[in-house]
Structures are given as C-alpha cells and as structure tokens.
Chains A and B, each alone.
Chain A
Amino acid sequence: MWSGRRVFILAAIGSAVGLGNIWRFPYVAYENGGGAFIIPYLVALLTAGIPLLFLDYAIGHRFRGSPPLAMRRLHPKAEAIGWWQVGICFVIAVYYAVIIAWAGMYFIFSFTTAWGEDAAGFFTGEFLQVSDQVNLGFDFVPSVLIPLILVWGVVIAILAMGVQKGIARSSIVFMPLLLIMFLILVVQALFLEGAWTGLDAFFTPDWTRLGDSSIWVAAYGQIFFSLSVAFGIMITYSSYLRRKTDLTGSGFVVGFANSGFELLAGIGVFAALGFMAASSGVGVDEVAVSGIGLAFIAFPTIIAQAPAGVLLGVLFFGSLVFAGLTSLISIVEVIIAAVQDKLDWLRVKAALVVGIPMALISILLFPTTTGLNLLDVTDAFVNSFGIVAVALVAVVAMSAGFSALPRLREHINATSSVKLGRNWQIFIGGVTPVVLGYILIDTLTTRISEGYGGLPTWFVGVFGWGMVIALVLIAYLLSKIPWSHRSAAYEKNVHEPILDAELDASKSATDKTKGGETGLPETAASGSVAGERKNP
C-alpha cells in the first residue's frame, strides 16, 4: 500500500510518462496541425483521457484489487475483462523491456558516438544485426541480450520489494531525475543552431486541419495511449490507495503532468530536429520522424553533429531509460498483483514466479537478429486491437452493460475534491465508446485490406492477429478457473457488486437513508476493512 497520495501520484506519472511521450507525441502533434493540435488535444484530455483515468481509479479504489479481482468484485461476469488487461500487459512488457535495453546501450554508445556517420546503418546493421529473413529465430545478439537481462533484473528486484518499498521508492528517485535530465536536455536543444526553425515548424498552426476528422482521431489516440488508461495499470495502482484519497484531485495532477511532459518533449525534440534540418540544409519536414526512427536514427545523427553532443546523447537516452523503466514496472505490477490476488501468494514469490518466466520469454524472443520485426508486429497489434478493444469493451460494460457509472461516480465524489457531474458519465458512456469504436474499426479495415508493414501474411497472422485473439481466449479461460477459498476473492469487500441498474438504484437509496456518505458505507463501523488480508 502506498504511504500516501504523493507517492501514488509520482508512481502514476512514472507509469504514464513513457516512451510514447518522448517519441510519439512530438510527431503526432506536428503532423496534425502543429500549434492547432493543442485544441483537439486538450478537448481529448478533458473529455476522454482524464475521465477514463477516473474510471480506472474508481474501479481499483472501490473494489481494491488487481484488474481480475476488482472487475470480479464489480460484477462476476466482468472478471474476464480484467484478465484480458493482464494479458495485454504481459505482451507489452516482454517487448517494452527490449527498447529500454536498446536505450541503455545507446546511453553507453553516446560517449563515443559509436554509430559514426551512418546512424541508420549502425542501428539495423552493426547493433541489431537484423536478419533478411522474417521469421522466428534464436540467433542472439549479445549487445542486446546482456542489457535486457539487466533490465529484467532491475524490474524484478524493484517489484519483489513491494509497492511502497519497491515501486514508490524507485519513483521517488527516478521521476525527479527524469525531469531534471529532460529539462537540461530541452535547454541544451534550444541553444542548437536551427532550434527555433524546428519550433516554428512544430507550433505554426494549420487551422484548416481542425475541420479534418483525422486530427481529432489522432488527438484522442495520443491522449489514450499516452495516459496508460484502460489496461489495468491504474486499477492496480489505485487499489493500493488509502480509502479516503482525493481521487479526482490526484487524477488531474497525473493527467496534466503527463501532458506537460509531452509538451516539453515536443519542444526538445523539434528544437533538435531543427538543428538536424539546418545542418543538412533541408526542411524540418524532411527530418521529422517518430518512434524508433526518431530515437535510434535521427537522435544519434543529431548527437554526432551537435556541439556537446555527448551530453545531449547521455541526457536523451538516460531519459528514455528512466521513462521506460517506471512504465515497465507499472505494467509488470499488473500481472504480479493479479497472480497474488488469485493464488494468495506472498509478494516475493509472486514477483519471482511471474517475473522470471516473463523475462525468459522476453530474452528468448527479442534480442535476436529477427527480434525487430516481431517487436514491430506485436507492438502494433497489441495497441490497436488489444488496448483499444479492451477499453471499448470495458466502457461499454461499465455503462450499457452493468450500469456501473452512477455508483462509481458516487464513490469518486465521496472522497474527492473535484466532484464529478453527470457529464463524466456522458464522456465515459458516450464520447469514449464512439471514439474508440471509430479508431478500432478504422485500423481494422486498414490492416485487413493492406496487411501490416509489408510483412509476410503468416507472420502477421501468428504474432499479430493470432496473438490478439489468443489474449481474449486465454482471458476467458483464466476467468473460469475457480478462486481458492483462501484467495482475496473470498474476503469480504465493503462494497457489494454492481449487479444491475435497478438493484443499484435501490442500494443507493438504502445507503442514503442510512445517512452515511453514499460511496463509502459504514467503512470503519462495519468492522470489515476493504480487501484486508484474512487473519489465519
């Protein structure tokens, strides 16, 4: 359990601020109207991002468990949604760790600018030794394998130490360090020649684009992926909060801090890209990229050419490592918490039994000459058809399915400083399903008609489509495994399940007549503490 809301907020920001903030947001904003993007972006933050964050907080905080347990306590039929989220976290973790390992190596490479003149050739050639064959191979690349083992070692060690001693303490160290490093990086980038041309390209608004639906979809997509909502992390983290925690007050800080960091990244990245454009005598549009291309090809090029490039490199890759680590920790925590809840295991045992096999899978599949394509496909599919799909199912289940929103809103309002009105229910039950549904169908039709990235059909079929379908089936099967009588599912929770709308309404009325605070009925008086471990 967190020692207080401050560490929860730090850990939640650590989870939300990840690689996507640094390498995805700048390009998405630039491509979608530049300065004009801020309007759909803020609208998306306030009508989907933060409301979804509150939904996760409400579920985790009220039903006090990892996603499967919290969902099961909400409604017995919802457990599979929780396992689906756990499965998604599993897939993300095994490849996400690899990118942190790369960043760790590039941190070291920065001291000597090991990539020389040809950053692109170095990355896929000398460093990753990418094979021409698209398949599953076990031809290991030691320079990725070794840092990957280290990454997993650090993550498992932190998680084995527990929520407060491990996750909270690591956030207290990593987050301020990340902020300081990143601020120095941005200031240094602003002093590069051409930096202001880069910022000009980044912020010049193209107002005509506001009428284009694609920039609105891009804004909602960015907010959604950036905040790490709807795949279990925030449910898990908020389950460790004290019961009288200001949920909305904390959520606004997390949401705006995440966006604040993204904006800072946009400034830093485009200042650096402005320098790159100026030194090669081309327009910013010709050098603007995102993702792996930005971090491992464009940035190394900039580092090799910029004055005090070593410092720039150390700060940039150091930031990637810290931003990535705090996110990876939160992703793996979801799985550990789920196993702990279902099997009633102690922390260290759960951390090792979950962490070591995950590390082995990650180590077996990705630091190989064929790992890059596998990473590309799993990343694309688990995001588009894992996270988006589970989020859509969850919001539909919470609104139309179980009519859980009024009850969850009451729960939030009982302890929070900023009270939620009916509009929150409209955002969750109305806005987000429409936007997520659109994004899902849009990507689905594109992928079906065009395939993915020119990769062989069997490869995309197995590791893309096959993987996302398997996640649903496995989630269903896991939800059918009965819970042991010693497990947390058999502990009495203060809050009854939300079974249906009518029952819900009558319960709500009973609570009110009792005169207690509606969302938190007789907590201390009942003598039953939510989710308390049973005394043997």
Chain B
Amino acid sequence: MSASAIVMMIIALLAVWGGLGLALLNLKRHPEAIDDEEADAVLHDGASVTPVR
C-alpha cells in the first residue's frame, strides 16, 4: 500500500469508527429516562403500563 492510501485508510477509520465511539459515549452519559405515564402508573396504582404507541 502506498503512504497516501495508508493515511487515508487511517483517517477514514478514525473519522467513522471514532464518530461511532463518540456517539456511544454520549449515549452512555445520558441514561434512558422513564416516561411520565410509567412514573404515573407506579405512583398511583402500581399497575403496569400497557404497551402503547
């Protein structure tokens, strides 16, 4: 492989896989929140929430 090809391979891998890594890290820093209706159900009667759209 030529030097320019190797450099471009590394840049492409870093940009795309690095982007994925950052995206995953960001997601990890923001844990999933519970929805209001779920919290409500727990508060009021403890009934489970039917899966809704």
Does B47 interact with chain A (Cβ within 8 Å)? no
Which chain A residues have a beta carbon within 8 Å of chain B's beta carbons? 1, 4-5, 34-36, 38, 42, 64-65, 164, 196, 199-200, 202-205, 239-240, 242-246, 249-250, 252-253, 255-257, 259-260, 263, 267, 415, 417-418, 488, 523-524, 529-533
Give the chain B neighbours of A530 by CB distance below 8 A. 52-53
Please indicate the chain A residues that have their CB under 8 angstroms from the CB of B19 in the complex. 252, 256, 259-260
B49 CB, nearest partner CB in chain A, Å: 9
Contact of B33 among A244, A255, A523, A532 (CB under 8 A): A244
Also in contact, A253 and B20, with CB within 8 A (given A1-B51, A196-B1): yes
A260 touches B17 (CB 8 A): yes
Shortest distance between the CB of B34 and any CB in chain A (Å)? 7
User: Interface on chain B toward A: helix, strand, loop, or mixed SS?
Assistant: helix
> CA separation between A481 and B32, bound complex, in Å?
39
Question: Given A35-B9, A260-B17, A417-B29 in contact, is the A205-B4 Cβ separation under 8 Å?
Answer: yes
Q: Are A533 and B52 in contact (CB under 8 A)?
A: yes
Nearest CB of chain A from residue B1's CB, rounded to whole Å: 4
A65 → B minimal CB distance (Å): 7
CB-defined contacts of B36 to chain A, threshold 8 Å: 243-244, 523-524
Question: Which residue on B lies nearest to A199, using beta carbons?
Answer: B1
Binary flags per residue of B11-50, CB closer than 8 Å to A gives 1, else 0? 1110111011011101101101111111110000000001
How far does the alpha carbon of A199 sit from the alpha carbon of B52 in the complex, in Å?
A: 48
Interface contact A524-B27, CB-CB below 8 Å:
no
In angstroms, Cα B17 to Cα A196, docked, is 21
Tell me whether B37 and A36 are in contact (CB under 8 A).
no
Complex formed: what's the CA distance from A229 to B8 in Å?
Answer: 28
- A242-B35 contact, Cβ under 8 Å, with A1-B52, A252-B23, A256-B19: yes
B20 touches A35 (CB 8 A): no
Give the residue of A245, A252, A529 whose beta carbon is less than 8 angstroms from that of B26: A252
A253 engages B24 (CB within 8 Å): yes
Question: What residues on A are CB-neighbors of B26 within 8 Å?
Answer: 249, 252, 417-418
Q: Do B32 and A263 have beta carbons less than 8 Å apart? A: no
Whole-angstrom distance between the Cβ of A429 and the nearest chain B Cβ: 25
On chain A, the residues within 8 Å of B22 by CB distance are 252
The reply to whether A524 and B53 form a contact with Cβ atoms under 8 Å apart is: no
Cα–Cα distance between A240 and B52 once the two chains are bound (Å): 8
Q: Are A249 and B27 in contact (CB under 8 A)?
A: yes
What is the CA–CA distance of A418 and B2 in the complex, to the nearest angstrom? 39
Report chain B residues within 8 Å CB of A263. Answer: 12-13, 16-17
- Check A35–B5 contact: CB distance below 8 A: yes
Contacts of B17 in A (CB 8 A): 256, 260, 263
Question: From residue A283, how far is it (CB to closest CB) to chain B in Å?
Answer: 15
Cβ contact within 8 Å between A259 and B53: no
Residues of B near A65 (CB, < 8 A) are 53
Report the minimum CB–CB distance from A491 to chain B (whole Å): 9
Neighbouring B residues of A245 by C-beta, 8 Å: 32-33
Is there contact, CB below 8 Å, between A417 and B53? no
CA distance A249 to B37 in the complex (A): 22
Q: Find out whether the CB atom of A34 lies under 8 angstroms from the CB atom of B1.
A: no
A243 surroundings in chain B (CB, below 8 A): 35-37
Among B5, B7, B12, B53, which residue has its beta carbon within 8 angstroms of that of A488? Answer: B53
* CB pair A256 B16 closer than 8 Å: yes
Instruction: Collect the chain A residues with CB atoms within 8 Å of residue B32's CB.
Output: 4-5, 242, 244-246
Q: Is the CB of B37 within 8 A of A204?
A: no
Q: Are A244 and B20 in contact (CB under 8 A)?
A: no
Question: With A38-B8, A65-B53, A417-B29 given, is the CB distance from A244 to B34 under 8 Å?
Answer: yes
B23 contacts A524, C-beta separation under 8 Å: no
B34: chain A residues within 8 A (beta carbon): 244
24 interchain pairs (CB within 8 A)? Answer: A5-B27, A35-B8, A35-B11, A38-B15, A65-B53, A164-B51, A200-B2, A200-B5, A203-B8, A204-B5, A205-B4, A205-B5, A244-B33, A245-B32, A249-B27, A250-B27, A252-B19, A256-B19, A256-B23, A257-B20, A260-B20, A267-B9, A488-B53, A524-B40
Taking A204-B4, A249-B30 as contacts, is the C-beta distance between A244 and B11 under 8 angstroms?
A: no
In the bound complex, what is the Cα–Cα distance between A199 and B8 (angstroms)? 11
List the A side residues contacting B20 at CB < 8 Å: 253, 256-257, 259-260
Interfacial chain B residues near A202, Cβ < 8 Å: 5
- The complex places the Cα of A34 from the Cα of B20 at a distance, in Å, of 22
A262 to B10, CA, bound (A): 15
Tell which of B7, B8, B24, B53 touches A240, judged by Cβ atoms closer than 8 Å.
Answer: B53
Report how far A205 CA is from B33 CA in the complex, Å. Answer: 44
CA distance A48 to B7 in the complex (A): 26
Chain A nearest CB from B38 CB (Å) reads 8
Chain B residues within an 8 Å CB radius of A42: 15-16
Residue from B27, B34, B37, B53 with most neighbouring chain A CB atoms (10 Å): B53
CB-CB < 8 A to A257: which residues of B?
20, 23
B11: min CB distance to chain A, Å: 7
CB neighbours of B2 from chain A (8 A): 200, 204
Instruction: Check if B30 sits within 8 Å of A417, measured CB to CB.
Output: yes
Please report the C-alpha to C-alpha distance between residue A260 and residue B20 in the assembled complex, in whole angstroms: 7
> Which chain A residue lies CB-closest to B21?
A256
